[in-house]
Amino acid sequence: MVKRFLKSAAPLAMMLCAAMTAPSGGTAARTYNEAYVHYSTLIPAFARKYNLPCSACHTAWPELNAFGQAFKDRGYQLGNDRDSPIWQAPAYWPISMRTTPQIHAENTTHQPIDPAPSEKTITQTGVDLSGVDFLLLGTLYKNITFGLVPTLDADGTTGLEAAFVRFDNLGSSPWANIKVGKFELDNLLSEKRFTWLSNNGGFLYAYHYQPAGSVDNYVFGLGDNQIGAEFAGHSINSYTRYSVAVLTPDDGEPGLPSGNSVDAMVSLSQAFQMGGGLGPPRIGVFGYLGHRPTTFDSVGGAPIPGTGSAFKSFTRVGATAQVWFGNLELIPLVSHASDDAALGGSTQKPEWNTTLLEAHYVATPRLLVQGRYELLRMSKQADPATPKTFGDVDALALGVRAYPFMFSRAGMAIHAEFAMTGTTGMAPLSGDGSGVDAYDPATKIWSRSLFLGFDFAF
Amino acid sequence: MRPHTGWVSFRSACGVVLLLARATPAPAQEAHVGNRTGHAKAGKPLYQRYCVGCHGQDGDGNGENAAWIDPKPRDFTTPVFKCRSTPTGTLPTDADLFNAVTRGFVTTNMPPWRPLTEQNRVDLVAFIKTFSKRWQTAKPGAPLTVPPEPVLTIQGILHGRELYQRMECWKCHGPAGHGDGPSAHDLTDNKDNPIRPYDFRSGTRFMCGETNQDLYRIFMTGLDGSPMPSFADQLKPADGWDLVHFLRTLQPLQTREAAIWREWVATHGSELKPIGPEGGGR
């Protein structure tokens, strides 16, 4: 009995110990893979609290539907005057866990290997694990919400994906809510709640791409959780929504490693009473203005965290929509991005454009068929000598999610996915292969993922 | 010659089925709210998605979560509905059901489904009506007309307090409206489930709405399936409004009624008789 308890408690103990000994701050470079290990926010704890099936809040979990979006906008409250914890059984504990045991194959062409200039196609196949998300979200009191998402990677690394407190309905108005801490940006196409799990399908270039030559301390992902304060509001049915966030220029890294500057994010969206589809059609726009330091004070040649200066700016602007034709959902997104020349590491501002179309056919709440095509084109390279097409991306993903059961206590999806990404010259951001750019900058590198996973949450 | 008994039997069976089908009225497949028409066929998958966990596959209120829910989910097969604009004992209008789905029921597990499109909600109403044949044999009652609200006066509030005493509202709702009257613990609904009277402190809204008109309508229509009767035969419109104005003073809200009441009680509070078995209301 004791042995069993120790065995089951070991991962949690490891996580706590690691958290206690983890260094704070620092500007250590991160790989893209690290940023994308933790995907989503599906929270059966809410289903247990409110006795609602997953399908009430999710088109197909973890993607939110209009009702789930309104629930989130209200601060994870249904608004029935029973949201405060005092109305729950004292034993209720607002925690859910999610992970995905999986079988997957990764195949990436034109990967440089030793001795130079050799290259080969690298293939990896086998049974693998995703990280584990511990999702603690709920109300501390009526109109006071909290979120806490400690994470445990499959290799034992711990993290804090989200930690925030939110004050809802200030002045009894749904138009005024404030959130402080680390949280997901109010992206209309949420990467934390999307339905893709493979290395190549599991992130959006529109949110994470950075062009070749970007300086080391410039790390940013629109899909990464950020630290700061968000002021947001919505109409009573959440058809009209806005958010304005002021953020630290650290891409969600705690400890203020960059220095004294701010980023800002704005999003606006409007849904309409139209059509008979599964949800209201919605259109929206977003914009992000960020700053990153280009110099640091140093000691012994090493930069001192938090002393960044000579901040240079970058922008991401875009528009998106959500359209329903019966059970078919289409989500187009277009965006434009540009970086200061100093962040691009050369003489001119790099600029690029992204277009994607994601389609979901929600056959039933228990069966989702989906596809996505994303296209990224560099319009201007930082270094004029770089070929114009270097870094261009074409990404395709196809998938099926089947939910063997759907009720209000837990969730499981059998997830099959095929995704392929073609990048010109540049190593794919999936993390597959050697992670090194091709010898020939005009070479099209293809990275392919084949994935079968058992995605469960309790 | 061998008789074609099998074929004859088959044809007879088909005939019987056809006759039965013709004898049974067409199921209520539609709902009409404003200029929208809801279709049961479109509402069925929505019901499966949003409602089945509580209201059950058969609409009988026995969904898998029902055991954990208090008050219990509505049984659509009866079909008895609390929140109506129609007289007690009659079916609600499609708009009544639409409003209930939209508004939800405060202090219960039924949330407001306002984020769903209006078309989705009308489709849901159409499907809910397929659970009982009564929708095919009876029409909804004529909606009650709510008369204009009179000017708010302290005399009206005091009269409402007298009515609260005289009509024994306090027996269930308690002398202070806390839902703790002497009968409160013995109440059951039409399915013999224990039911508690409304505690005017507990929510910012009422079960069937939040406006004074909504509260007036509750007196006059009653909450069918619950012990709350209709007072349409006992209350004159002016009395109903006085009762509304008094009940507003019991809520923890900054209402006009509460402000007038507090001002009056500050100077005349000693004149009030307590509400309850010994009280006279004034």
Of B69, B123, B203, the CB nearest to A81: B203
Say yes or no for a CB contact (<8 Å) between B53 and A79.
no
Task: Cis check for the bond before A23: say yes or no (omega within 30 of 0).
Answer: no
Say yes or no to pLDDT of A176 above 60. Answer: yes
Contact B107 A82 (CB under 8 A): yes
> Position of tokens 């499959």?
A154
Taking CA atoms, what residue in A is nearest to B106? A80
pLDDT (average), residues A207-222: 92
What are the residues whose beta carbons fall under 8 Å from the beta carbon of B121, sequence distance 6 or more? B33, B38, B98, B101, B102, B113
Asked if residue B145 is part of any domain, the answer here is no
Shortest Cα distance, chain A CAs vs residue B78, angstroms: 23
Q: Determine contact, residues B25/B136, Cβ cutoff 8 Å.
A: yes
Evaluate whether residue B276 is within a structural domain: no
Please give the single-letter amino acid code of residue B247: L
Question: Any idea what DSSP says for residue A262?
Answer: -
A371 conformational bin, left if phi > 0, alpha if psi -120 to 50, beta if neither: beta
8 A C-beta contact, residue B232 and residue B91: no
pLDDT of amino acid B203 = 67
pLDDT band at A116 (very low <50, low <70, confident <90, very high): confident
Pair A366, A188: CB distance under 8 Å: no
Q: Hunting for tokens 């409206």 — which residue is that?
A: B177
| Residue B208 in domain | yes
CB contact under 8 A, B107 and A66: no
Does a structural domain hold residue B144? no
Residue B259 has pLDDT above 80, yes or no: yes
Has residue B21 got a pLDDT over 80? no
CB-based contact A393:A419 (threshold 8 Å)? no
Percent of chain A with pLDDT over 90: 75
Of all residues in chain B, the one with the smallest CA distance to A58 is B49
More confident residue, A411 or B2: A411
Residue B2 pLDDT: 46
- Residues B139-159 pLDDT 10s: 999 999 999 999 999 999 999
Residues of chain B contacting residue A238, judged by C-beta atoms under 8 Å apart: 115
Tell me if A320 sits within 8 A of A283, measured CB to CB.
Answer: yes
Rg for chain B, CA atoms, rounded: 23
CB interface of A with B, residues 29-48, below 8 Å: none
- CA count, 13 A, side-chain hemisphere, A234: 22
Shared domain for B122 and B231, answered yes or no, is: no
In a domain, B20, yes or no: no
Q: What pLDDT does A30 receive?
A: 34
CATH class of A33-457: mainly beta
Contact (CB, 8 A) for A366 and A316: no
Report the residue from B50, B69, B118 with minimal CB separation from A273: B118
CA-nearest of B102, B91, B92, B106 to B124 is: B102
* Res. B9 pLDDT band, cuts 50 70 90: low
- Helices B118-128, B40-50: axis angle to 10 degrees equals 100
State phi, psi for A270 to the nearest 5 degrees: -140, 130
**Per-residue model confidence (pLDDT) at position A276:** 79
User: In total, how many domains does chain B have?
Assistant: 2
Check: CB of residue B73 under 8 Å from CB of residue B56: yes
Cα–Cα nearest to B208, from B115, B89, B110, B124: B110
Residues whose CB is less than 8 angstroms from the CB of residue B235 and which lie 6 or more positions away in sequence, other chains included: B163, B167, B219, B220, B243
Query: Which chain B residue has its CA at the smallest distance from A67's CA?
Result: B115
Whether A79 sits inside 8 A of B42 (CB atoms) is no
Report the alpha-carbon distance of residue A31 to residue A118 in Å, rounded: 24
How many other C-beta atoms are found inside a 10 Å radius of the C-beta of residue A327? 16
Closest approach of chain A CAs to the CA of B14, in angstroms? 34
The C-alpha atoms of residue A220 and residue A226 are separated, in whole angstroms, by 10
Strand pairing of A444-457 and A411-424? antiparallel
Instruction: Select from B112, B123, B202 the Cβ nearest to the Cβ of A79.
Output: B112
A81 reaches B (C-beta below 8 A): yes
Taking CA–CA distances from B68, the nearest residue in chain A reads A51
- Checking if the pLDDT of A14 tops 90, the result is no
- Alpha-carbon distance B268 to B247, whole Å? 19
Chain B neighbors of A55, CB-CB under 8 A: 48-50
What is the pLDDT, as a whole number, of residue A406?
Answer: 87
Quote the CA–CA distance of B118 and B102 in Å, as a whole number: 9
B184 falls within a domain: yes
Q: What is the DSSP string of A187-236?
A: -SS-SSS-S--STTTSS-HHHH---TT--TT----TTS-EEEEEEEEE-T
Residues of B with CB under 8 A from a CB of A: 42, 45, 48-50, 52-54, 64-65, 68-69, 104-120, 123, 202-205
pLDDT category, B23, cuts 50, 70, 90? Answer: very low
Partner residue facing A80 (CB), from B52, B68, B106: B106
Contact assignment for A408 to B53 by CB distance below 8 Å:
yes
- Contact yes or no for A364 and B48 at CB 8 A: yes
Q: Do B48 and A80 touch (CB under 8 A)?
A: no
A216: confidence class by pLDDT, cuts 50, 70, 90: confident
pLDDT(A10) > 80? no
Residue A1 has what pLDDT? 37
Q: Looking at the complex, does the CB of residue A55 fall below 8 Å from at least one CB of chain B?
A: yes
Backbone angles phi, psi at A318, to 5 degrees: -170, 175
Q: Considering just the CA atoms, what is the radius of gyration of chain A in Å?
A: 22
Residues of chain A with C-beta less than 8 angstroms from the C-beta of B110: 80
Q: Are residues B110 and B161 in the same domain?
A: no
Alpha-carbon dihedral sign for residues A283, A75, B104, A48: positive
Question: How many Cβ contacts (< 8 angstroms) between chains A and B?
Answer: 87
Residue type, A298: S
Whether residue B173 is found in the same domain as residue B94: no
CB contact under 8 A, B50 and A67: yes
- Partner-chain contact A80 B108, CB within 8 Å: yes
Domain end (from B137, B164, B199): B137
Q: What is the model's pLDDT at position A6?
A: 38
Which residues 6+ apart lie within 8 Å of B246 measured at CB? B157, B158, B159, B160, B161, B163, B164, B257
Residue B182 lies in a domain: yes
Domain stops at, among B93, B109, B137: B137
Within 8 A by CB and 6+ apart from B43, the residues are B123, B124, B125, B126, B127, B128
Residue B95 belongs to domain with CATH number: 1.10.760
Mean pLDDT of A346-365: 96
- The beta-carbon neighbor of B111 closest among A80, A275, A279 is A80
Chain A neighbors of B104, CB-CB under 8 A: 78-80
Spell out which residues of chain B touch residue A52, defining contact as CB-CB under 8 Å. Answer: 53-54, 65, 111
Mean local confidence (pLDDT), B179-200: 92
Confidence of residue A132 (pLDDT cuts 50, 70, 90): very high
Structure tokens at A351: 């600029």
On chain B, the residues whose CB falls within 8 A of the CB of A81 are 106-107, 202-205
Percent of chain A with pLDDT over 70: 91
Q: Express each pLDDT in B38-83 by its tens digit.
A: 999 999 999 999 999 999 999 999 999 999 898 899 999 999 999 9
Select from B137, B172, B206 the last residue of a domain. Answer: B137
Distance from CA of B233 to the nearest CA of A (A): 32
pLDDT of residue B218: 94
Q: In whole angstroms, give the CA distance from residue A47 to residue A67.
A: 13
Range A355-374 average pLDDT: 97
Give the pLDDT band of residue A25 (cuts 50, 70, 90): very low
Q: Taking a C-beta distance cutoff of 8 angstroms, is the pair A237, A427 a contact? A: no
Q: B60 and B110: one domain?
A: yes
Residues 404..423 of A with a Cβ closer than 8 Å to B: which? 407-408
- pLDDT tens digits, residue range B212-250? 999 999 999 999 999 999 999 999 999 999 999 999 999
How large is the average pLDDT for residues A310-333?
A: 97
Contact at CB, B109 and A51, closer than 8 angstroms? yes
Cis amide linkage into residue A115, ω under 30° from 0: yes
Residue identified by tokens 């659970």 is: B131
Query: 3-state secondary structure string, chain B?
Result: CCCCHHHHHHHHHHHHHHHHHHHCCCCCCEEEECCEEEEHHHHHHHHHHHCHHHHCCCCCCCCCCHHHCCCCCCCCCCCCCCCCCCCCCCECCHHHHHHHHHHCCCCCCCCCCCCCCHHHHHHHHHHHHHHCCHHHHCCECCCCCCCCCCCCCHHHHHHHHHHHHHCCCHHHHCCCCCCCCCCHHHCECCCCCECCCCCCCCCCCECCECCHHHHHHHHHHCCCCCCCCCCCCCCCHHHHHHHHHHHHCCCCCCCHHHHHHHHHHHHHHHHCCCCCCCCCCC
Looking at chain B, which residue has its C-alpha nearest residue A64?
B115
For B277, other C-beta atoms within 10 Å of its C-beta total 11
Q: Which residues of B touch A174 (CB under 8 A)?
A: none
The answer to whether the CB atoms of B53 and A274 lie below 8 A apart is no
B204 & B264 share domain = yes
Per-residue model confidence (pLDDT) at position A54: 92
3-state secondary structure of A170: helix
Q: How confident is the model at residue A23 (pLDDT cuts 50, 70, 90)?
A: very low
Between chains, do A67 and B52 touch, taking CB under 8 Å as contact? no
CB contact under 8 A, A52 and B69: no
- Which range of residues forms the domain containing residue B266? 154-271
Q: Which of A55, A66, A408 sits opposite B115 (nearest CB)?
A: A66
What's the length of chain A?
A: 458
State the nearest Cα–Cα gap between A68 and chain B, in angstroms.
9
ipTM: 0.86
